Amino acid sequence: MRPLLDTPAPTGLPPRLEEALQQLDDPGFAERLRKVYLAAAHAIGRLSDLDLVRYESHAEDAGTDLSLWEEMAPVIRDTVIDVNALLAELRAEFPEGSDEGMPPEEGAASRALQDGARDISGSLGRVAEMMRDPSVMADRWNLLAELQSVRSRLREDLGGLVFDSASFFADLRRRDVVPGFVAELRSAVTLRAFSADLQRVIAARMDRVRDADATDIASHANQLQNELDTFGRTAAYRALRAQDKRHIVEFRSRVGELASEPTLSRGRLVLCVQELHEFVLELQGVNQRPILQEHDHEVMAHASVKLEQASQLLAFDPASGAQSLAEALASSHSLYGRQPELDIFLRRHRKVDVTHLSQAEAQACCEELLALLAGLHAS
């Protein structure tokens, strides 16, 4: 299994899905499915390209304004248009009742498409509800958060429509057939890794503030500002939910105010850093996302097999054993942020060329990583 993060984003339909369509006995049915799947792929791509950062200017302002609404209105309009285009294609190719008289697998796939269309219509209805909700429309961050949530739910529904229907005529995995799956996985893995590093940085800053001389407190506030600014330029920040970004922006502003005070007390800065640390800990909730849980189980299984191979090969074929160890390490790096002990190990071996390790060192590396992965399995 190659590391998932090295897989390029697909164009058109994912190869495995195209292959499954080509293997269908009925070319006409396959072509109808292809039209629906291409429309779904287009909609998923369009729903994935919203960069909220560009809409977060003046983020300190609680309310929305005309300029924001002028920017967001086309986004909302395009969301509705893109998804309705998919629904129109689906209804044209698979109208209600079209499954009658079909072979069992084709009929089941057709019904799955109809069920998926109903789910998508329900999610699309949330757009209208959002626009009628004063609590959403009156607050910039609430509007961004709700729009992000709606678009995420629609992507999930569209991916489910493709996977659920295709599963009736082929043995498939979500990553193989859902357009945009790999990009979404890459985003989640990136968010987890950077959030774990931010947690370490904030924890270290908190220790330094507690031990600092009174004359250095303002300097630590400035450094904390810089650390938050650095995080704000990462891909992980772009992947955050809007409400989580709001917290980062508010903490950044709060730290800036503290740094500008002529006589900043240690206690006030410690309290701020503690609250920031607690918030960053909550970002590790990304580990509960189904897309990451499935990915982690597969990576752990793959890495464990490679480590077992390495352990056996090192005794009589060191080169092959080192190669298996290197492959296990490479795939394990996408687990970074899952557990602090594993993170320490991965950071320690990030730049290690295992082909240059002695047999004893390589064997010890295998055993340590196997133990860490076993701990993850148990948790």
| Whether pLDDT at 85 is above 80 | yes
All residues at 6 or more sequence positions from 368 whose CB lies less than 8 Å from its CB, including other chains: 345
Query: Degrees (nearest 5) of the Cα angle 71, 48, 333?
Result: 130
Distances (CA, A) of 333 to 92, 210, 303, 343: 45, 33, 10, 9
Query: Degrees (nearest 5) of the Cα angle 143, 145, 148?
Result: 105
Summarised one tens digit per residue, pLDDT across range 131-154 is 788 777 777 788 888 888 888 889
Q: What is the dihedral of CA 67, 70, 75, 79, to 10 degrees?
A: 140
In degrees rounded to 5, what are phi and psi of residue 63? -90, 160
| DSSP track, 99-122 | TTTS-HHHHHHHHHHHHHHHHHHH
Mean pLDDT of the chain: 86
Could you give the CA distance from residue 379 to residue 358 in angstroms, rounded to a whole number? 32
Q: Longest C-alpha distance within the chain, in Å?
A: 82
User: What pLDDT shows up at residue 73?
Assistant: 80
pLDDT band at 95 (very low <50, low <70, confident <90, very high): confident
Single-letter amino acid code for the residue at 117: A
Summarised one tens digit per residue, pLDDT across range 17-34 is 999 999 999 999 999 999
| Whether pLDDT at 196 is above 90 | yes
Q: What are the residues facing 63 on neighbouring strands? A: 139
Could you give the CA distance from residue 88 to residue 308 in angstroms, rounded to a whole number? 51
* Assigned CATH for 185-288: 1.20.120
What angle do helix axes 340-348 and 359-378 make, rounded to 10 degrees? 160
User: What pLDDT shows up at residue 96?
Assistant: 82
According to DSSP, residue 13 is labeled S
User: What pLDDT shows up at residue 53?
Assistant: 64
Token readout for 104 is: 């069992």
Q: How far is CA 1 from the centre of its chain?
A: 20
| Whether pLDDT at 56 is above 70 | no
User: What pLDDT shows up at residue 1?
Assistant: 36
pLDDT band at 9 (very low <50, low <70, confident <90, very high): very low
C-alpha distance across the termini of the chain, in Å: 23
pLDDT band at 323 (very low <50, low <70, confident <90, very high): very high
Least confident interval from 73-77, 90-94, 109-113, 341-345? 73-77
Single-letter amino acid code for the residue at 17: L
Fold of 4-179: A middle domain of Talin 1 (1.20.1420)
Tokens 């757009």 belong to 127
Cα within 13 Å of Cα(305), Cβ side:
7
Q: How far is CA 183 from the centre of its chain?
A: 8
Could you give the CA distance from residue 338 to residue 346 in angstroms, rounded to a whole number? 11
User: What pLDDT shows up at residue 76?
Assistant: 83
- Number of residues in the chain: 379
User: What pLDDT shows up at residue 282?
Assistant: 92
| Whether pLDDT at 214 is above 50 | yes
All residues at 6 or more sequence positions from 319 whose CB lies less than 8 Å from its CB, including other chains: 355
All residues at 6 or more sequence positions from 223 whose CB lies less than 8 Å from its CB, including other chains: 205
The answer to whether the beta carbons of residues 371 and 303 sit under 8 Å apart is: no
Mean pLDDT throughout 258-264?
A: 85
Least confident interval from 191-200, 315-324, 370-379? 370-379
Mean pLDDT throughout 246-266?
A: 88
| Of residues 262 and 371, more confidently modeled | 371
Q: What is the dihedral of CA 178, 181, 183, 187, to 10 degrees?
A: 160
| DSSP track, 59-83 | TT--B--HHHHHHHHHHHHHHHHHH
Q: How far is CA 167 from the centre of its chain?
A: 24
User: What pLDDT shows up at residue 52?
Assistant: 62
Could you give the CA distance from residue 245 to residue 243 in angstroms, rounded to a whole number? 5
